[in-house]
Amino acid sequence: MLKELDLKYRFGFLIETKQEKLNTSHCSFLNSWDFTQCGEAVIAHHHEAKISKFQFKDHFVFTLGDIFCAHGTENLENTLKQFTEENDWDAIDNLSGRFAILTYNKKNNSFEKILTDPIGSRTLFYSTIQPGLVASHSSLLAEILNINRDQETIEFTKSEDFLTIRTKFLPADLTMYKNIYGLPANHYYSFEEHKAIRFWPRNPIKPNNIENLLEISKEYLLKQIEYFSALGKRPVIGLTGGVDCRSIIAAWNSRKIHFKCLTWNRNLSNEEVIIIKKISSHLYADSYFLDVKKTENTEPFKALKNSGYINRGSFIGGAVLTAQTAEFSGPSDIFVRGLGGEILRGMFNKKTSKESKIEDGTYAINLYKTSRLKNPTTEFRLFVEKSYNDFFDRINLKNQKLFNYDFGDLIYWEQRMSMWAASLLNEADPALKNIAGLNSRKMYEAAYGLPDEERFQRELLLKITSNFDPYLANLPVT
């Protein structure tokens, strides 16, 4: 296992654009990091963070993390050239992985923008009090700036209302630190304007059919397998009776690649256990059950818990699951999560958002609190309401052209996925590298164009599964 200091902000980075350098003498974790100079700016990055530099006529482009071409025939270098030199935003829709793209303008001798993978699984955070400073983790940025956790937000996370919510994450783009915000998916951070700017959607939804989605999803999953296999990576995939991971399992298994499946043993029903065993017996995989009640009073276990907690943003509880997962992971393993499936099948889009005004935040607030919280207190409601209204102001939502996209789809993708889901990957990174398994803007666009009766059902993911393995697609779903 890595030293505890190396688990902190694992795979992370910091971008500093000011000539007047910050005092980072109190940040001992930086002693083992690498530094890349670009003009007056500096990229500091964890020694395990992948960083590549591409040089074009008018731009340098840096990629941080895992990035591959999931669609089309162009290679990565040509795709990035089209994006920067020709301002072809459609080009980046072909990319997937867990990455950030950072562009540097040679003429201006300055960074222009930074953006992430489609789902926003490579988190980015920026400060409104220190413009031009961007980091992969909110706690990293706070530590650099010597900012403590915000007391009002701490009290919010301790409230009975917050603890009632099943899926716990902060509302909107909030972090535990005042004036530090998360960058939502489909936005880039402008180093010139010092704010988040929307770059998608660029066109209206086009009517689509299931055959086209299946073709796009097959291309995507095969390119994912090709990329990570070439790196010698072996996937760890969550195995349940559900649908979101099943298509990923089917794709990897179809290539006869040996991998691992991991099941969280959380009061599983007999029906689900039977399905899990049927899937497991069909795979080129070793299957394991993770006991979520297991704890260890050892230094490595404590280090993994603490690092996961910090990496998620010093948010809530200890990262016990991170420490437990480490037992089943090796140096060549990568956790491929089923994230993205709910975007495809519109799990939280009930078309009720059509009846809500975007400006008043009603739909976003109701999605955040869920039906589990029936009668929130005034304090809870006002905190959440203000968080979303401020968020919508920061991204200038009321002046955006959203075409015929459903606001419920956008808020789920851009807030819940790129804030909550992405933070889970940060939390688990100390154990092993994590990626979102269904992470393609072209797939999402194709799914959005399907008729409601085809899209809004779990069977949509089973049809993608059937592309690779009809047996797995025909097993029951729990």
pTM: 0.96
Cα separation, 189 vs 265, in Å, equals 40
Q: What's the distance, CA 319 to chain centroid?
A: 17
Q: Mind listing the pLDDT tens digit for each residue in 213-243?
A: 999 999 999 999 999 999 999 999 999 999 9
DSSP secondary structure string for all residues of 455-468: HSSTHHHHHHHHTT
Tell me: pLDDT of 392 over 80.
yes
Where along the chain do its domains lie?
4-150+175-198
- pLDDT, residue 353, reads 47
Please check whether residue 95 is in contact with residue 121, taking contact to mean a CB–CB distance below 8 angstroms.
no
- pLDDT, residue 3, reads 81
CATH architecture of 4-150+175-198: 4-Layer Sandwich (3.60)
The average pLDDT across 349-377 equals 72
- pLDDT, residue 356, reads 52
Under the banding of pLDDT at 50, 70 and 90, the label for residue 118 is very high
Under the banding of pLDDT at 50, 70 and 90, the label for residue 408 is confident
* Per-residue burial over 266-298, b = 16 or more CB atoms within 10 Å of its CB, e = otherwise: eebeeebeebbeebbeebebebbebeeeeeeee
Q: Mind listing the pLDDT tens digit for each residue in 132-171?
A: 999 999 999 999 999 999 999 999 999 999 999 988 999 9
